[in-house]
Structure 1
Amino acid sequence: MMRKYSTYILLFGFPLFGCQTKVVEKPTYEQNWMLLEKDNKALAFDADIHLSDAELTLDKKLFELRKQFLNETEKQKIPLYNSSFNELKPLIEDSKLYKVFQTMPKGGLLHTHSGGVTDMKWVIAAARKYKECYVYDQKDNDKFIVGQLAFFENGKVPQGFVSLDKKLLSDPHFEKELLERLTLKRDKLCTYTNYWIEFEKRFQRINLLLPYRPFFKEYYLKGFQDLAKDKVQHVEIRYVFEELYDFQHGKYPVKKSITDLQDIVKEVQKSDPQFSLKLIYSSFKFLDPQSIEKQLETAFELKKEFPDMISGFDLVADEAAGHSISFFEKNWTALDGLSKKYGVEMPLFLHAGESNSVFNKNVFDTSLLNNRRIGHGLNLIYFPKTMELIKKQNKLVEVSPISNQILGYVSDLRNHPARVLLSNGVQCSINSDDPSVYGYEGLSYDFWVAFVYWELDVKALKKLVFNSITYSSMNDNEKKVAVAHLNKQWNDFIQHTNQSLN
């Protein structure tokens, strides 16, 4: 029996043992390289996007357009990566890529501010038509600064103010000077300017214009029409509420600005039926918790009355100068009680991480609070655990590349932190922040900058565009309608752009 068993081993066992001990070939260097590439792509923010044949065709065409543009700038020795947006703006406008982005549907603009949406050249031209409009043309003092615009009744004009129209007629150079004082440009990347001080002065120069109700209505109608023309279908404004007034009725209740904006949106919808608006009630980081408590009460009261217009709450201003988000911890813990009291929820859309410092830890709070989106989030990449948490929580970072450069956070836009966020699967959208203050309109410039400097493709563009609707504060039904419209516009864009680039 033993001999028989041995015979079986001889006949069958050795081949089997030979198969079991056969050395499996190691993957080649090339296979490992390709596996790494695949794994990295699977982590990216746009990994779920699959392009149609038409989209793949456009992707190749846009790749070639960018390549041609970069070759031409190199040939002309244009320092593309060491120049500010303002230096390159004419070059951008002359490019074929910019013409493409002007026609691209952009979905929603999720991060912009009241006072920063309408072209400043138009502001000057529109304001001068009012005989009640004046400009301060003396040296700065503790009340007013040079170039500050305001409306006053006849006989109640403070010293130092002169008629805007008369000033422009008498001084041919004043309009250019005023425009420079109303816009913030970073003309040279290497020069020092305290950009936040200059930035806030731009808002101070128009903060007495906007509450004047006749001008207010003109201002937002122009701003919304320009955005709709630039293929933006939805807008969410960080809105600082104040009482509107005119010289016939005096001051109006705070809610008048909401009803006026609703009327303005209806006017825009006559030509662009899909256009929609939400307001994020905004207060300031430099206030104390008691003041924020009152602001939150007002925000809840307005949201209860206008649930389809007020979408949430934010704190704005320079993060380096204001209080941290955690400084207002008692205000945040009171939100649940306020929600029960008013019967509405007040999600947060906080500015956080608009900083290059690891000592600014505001992004920590955004992962611990009911915070739907993060404004800027530049230093989120310094905190890998928080970045991972933000990704798991599926919270969006609102990225504003041109604003970040002009305010001095990123010089060479190839090094923008958003590139790290995108490759690590953190969802983002493209925004313009305060375009009128930076001397441009719309959202096309920001998409151009992101596409060229971040080496994006159509897959990334599509994800960024659709993110702006997916992560908007619209309700489910509103999103469904908005996505359907955006899908149609996107497909039309792909078809027409492919035809035009043949």
Structure 2
Amino acid sequence: MLISLEGAHATDQTLEGVWDIFNRSTQMMKGLFNYESAFRNYVGKAIDRFAEDNVMYAEVRPNFFDKHIASDDGERQLDHRVWMQIIQEEVDTKVKQLGPGGKGAGHFKGLKVIYCAPRSIENEDMTWCLNDCISLKQEFPDLICGFDMVGCEGRGNPMRHYISELLQFRATCTSLDLDIPFIFHAGETLESQGPADNNLYDAILLGTKRLGHGYALVQHPLLMQLCRERGIALEICPISNEVLHLCSSMHGHVLPTLLANSVPCTINSDNPSYFGSSLSHDFYQTILYHDSMTLFGWRVLAEWSIEHSCMNMEQRTDAFQTWEANWNAFCEWIIEEFGPEYLKFPVLLK
């Protein structure tokens, strides 16, 4: 299921070819985890991996188009409500184990779920997914935090294909006083002035809270300005962008251009199970290949991830306090570990 180095970067590999490999991997993954105990274990192990990586909070994107998973005895079909119950139970258990006073150094504080539907489905199926998202938000208000459409933008429908359904969803949320922001994948493409590229316009017009990838945004100065003015953060996924052929390496990534234009960005792991990576690997790629990225820059990227999250004000304040303490401890470690070595060099004072 892992996408190998050869599979991603063979001399004859193309963007279309690597997406074929990626889609086959997702289908195999579904087959392995579409029953109760495997799904529960997968959620629990994912949280353990977050904690090992010192991730204290996450927003994850399950694909909800499959309507059921099987019970272990094969006698029952478990719907999305049961999925959410399993996720909530695993989160509650792990927060106790890994939070302050628990065994986890990362002080895990929880996760939220962005409801995802494929961008390739029929309009009536999208309506079903949007209504299902509303129902789950009503029952699990602290768990469901947004809605997104996923899949290769060059192969699926453009966002405007579902504009009527999305506007109706927004109107229904308003009438029910529900806060379910759009958090759209958009601009994950090298295309210019095509349907995939134009998803950026529609996502911003629809009021997206963040942009997943947004790789093509640098081709649109006005849209960069709008993201800056409206506080729309980009979810940058370095390893995914390399594997799926948006850039050959981080040397050619658009992140420095986005930061130079004051567009808020966060560093994220996109489908790490398929790439054999973690968030630390994505941060490492960012740090290693951008000479302009200083210690202060690392701090800002991490703080933006809290600022632009779907946590409420109380949760965000608590997260910032924990982050500040961890950051100060990290800086003290740098001074203790490396300070004496650099103090050996003479310093010229003017």
Supply the AA of the counterpart residue of 1:308.
D
Distance 1:365 1:297 in 2: 21
Match of 1:411 in 2: 248
State the alpha-carbon separation in 1 of the partners of residues 199 and 335 from structure 2.
44
* 8 A Cα contact 1:228 1:275, kept in partner: no
Question: Where does 1:424-435 land on structure 2 (aligned, <5 Å)?
Answer: 424-435=261-272
Q: Counterparts of 2:304 and 2:320 in 1: how far apart (Å)?
A: 10
What is the identity, as a one-letter code, of the residue corresponding to 1:246? S
Cα distance, 1:281 vs. partner?
0.4
Who is 2:169 aligned against? 335
The residue that corresponds to 1:444 in the other structure is 280
Q: What residue number does 1:275 align with?
A: 109
In the alignment, does 2:12 pair up with 1:191? yes
Whether contact under 8 Å (1:431, 1:446) holds in the other structure is: yes
Structure of larger gyration radius: 1
**Superposition deviation, residue 369 in structure 1:** 1.2
What amino acid maps onto 1:336 in structure 2?
R
What TM-score, normalized to structure 1?
0.62
Structure-2 residue corresponding to 1:293: 127
Q: Shift of the alpha carbon at 1:220?
A: 1.4
Distance in 2 between the 1:199 and 1:336 partners?
A: 32
Residues 247-286 of structure 1, C-alpha deviation per residue, up to 9 Å, x if partnerless?
A: 4351223211111111111222233213211000000111
Segments of 5+ residues of structure 2 without an aligned counterpart are 100-107, 340-350
Q: Give, in whole Å, the separation in 2 of the partners of 1:501 and 1:417.
A: 32
Deviation at 1:213, TM superposition (A): 0.8
Post-superposition offset of 1:417: 1.0
CA distance in 2, matches of 1:284, 1:253: 18
Q: In the TM superposition, what is the alpha-carbon distance from 1:370 to its structure 2 partner?
A: 2.0
Task: Classify the secondary structure of the residue corresponding to 2:274.
Answer: coil
Residue 315 (structure 1) aligned with residue 149 (structure 2): yes
Write the mapping of 1:87-102 to structure 2, written as runs, cut at 5 A. none
How far off its partner does 1:494 sit?
Answer: 1.2
1:265 counterpart residue number? 91
* Other-structure match for 1:498: 335
- Distance in 2, matches of 1:466 and 1:198, equals 34
In structure 2, relative to structure 1, the CA distance for the partners of 1:436 and 1:469 (3 Å cut) is: same
The superposition leaves residues 150-178 of structure 1 with CA deviations (integer Å, 9 ceiling, x where unpaired) of xxxxxxxxxxxxxxxxxxxxxxxxxxxxx
Q: Which residue of 1 aligns with 2:30?
A: 207
- Whether the 8 Å CA contact 2:131–2:169 is kept in 1: the answer is no
Q: How does 1:75-474 map to 2 (within 5 A)?
A: 182-187=1-6, 188=9, 190-193=11-14, 194-241=17-64, 242-248=67-73, 249-273=75-99, 274-358=108-192, 359=194, 360-440=197-277, 442-455=278-291, 456-474=293-311
Decide whether aligned partners of structure 1 residues 488 and 186 sit closer, same or farther in structure 2, where only a CA change above 3 A counts.
same
Is the CA contact 1:185–1:406 (under 8 Å) kept in the aligned structure 2? no
RCO (CA 8 Å, sep 6+): is it higher in 1 or 2? 1
Q: What secondary structure, in the 3-state scheme, does the structure 2 residue paired with 1:361 have?
A: helix
Amino acid at match of 1:449: Q
Alpha carbons 1:282, 1:316 under 8 Å: kept: yes
Q: What are the ranges of 5 or more consecutive residues in structure 1 without an aligned counterpart? A: 1-181
CA contact (8 A) 1:363 1:377 kept: yes
How much does 1:489 deviate? 1.0
Deviation at 1:328, TM superposition (A): 1.3
Of residues 392-401 and 217-226 in structure 1, the stretch that sits farther from structure 2 once superposed is: 217-226
Moved segments of 4+, more than 6 Å: none
Which residue of structure 1 lines up, in the alignment, with residue 344 of structure 2? none
Deviations 1:215-234 (A, max 9, x none): 11111111111111111011
Amino acid in the other structure paired with 2:77: K
CA contact (8 A) 2:91 2:111 kept: yes
Task: Please give the per-residue CA displacement for 1:373-422, whole angstroms capped at 9, x wherever unaligned.
Answer: 00000000111111111111110000001100001110031110111101
The alpha carbon displacement at 1:322 in A equals 0.6
Task: Tell me the C-alpha RMSD between the 2 structures.
Answer: 1.5
Q: Retained in 2: the 8 A contact 1:356–1:409?
A: yes
**8 A Cα contact 1:304 1:343, kept in partner:** no
Q: 8 Å contact 2:133–2:147 — kept in the other structure?
A: yes
In structure 2, how many angstroms separate the alpha carbons of the residues matched to 1:462 and 1:189?
36
Distance 2:170 2:199 in 1: 21
AA at the equivalent of 2:96: K
Which residue identity is paired with 1:255?
R
- Paired positions, count: 320
Identity of aligned residues (%): 28
| Aligned-residue offset at 1:444 | 0.9
Instruction: Find the residue that maps to 1:236 and give its secondary structure.
Output: strand
TM-score by length of 2: 0.88
Which letter does structure 2 place at the counterpart of 1:438?
F
* C-alpha distance in structure 1 between counterparts of 2:338 and 2:282, whole Å: 22
Paired with 1:221 and 1:500, the residues of 2 have a C-alpha distance of 34
Q: Which moved more, 1:205-214 or 1:455-464?
A: 205-214
For residues 29 and 174 of structure 2, the distance between their equivalents in structure 1, rounded to whole angstroms, comes to: 38
Measure, in 2, the Cα distance between the counterparts of 1:401 and 1:466. Answer: 18
In structure 2, what is the Cα distance between the partners aligned to 1:287 and 1:211? Answer: 20
Give 1:466-485 correspondences, 5 Å limit: 466-485=303-322
| Aligned AA (1:234) | Y
CA distance in 2, matches of 1:418, 1:347: 24
Q: Distance in 2 between matches of 1:412 and 1:485?
A: 33
CA distances 1:86-108 after superposition (whole Å, capped 9, x unpaired): xxxxxxxxxxxxxxxxxxxxxxx
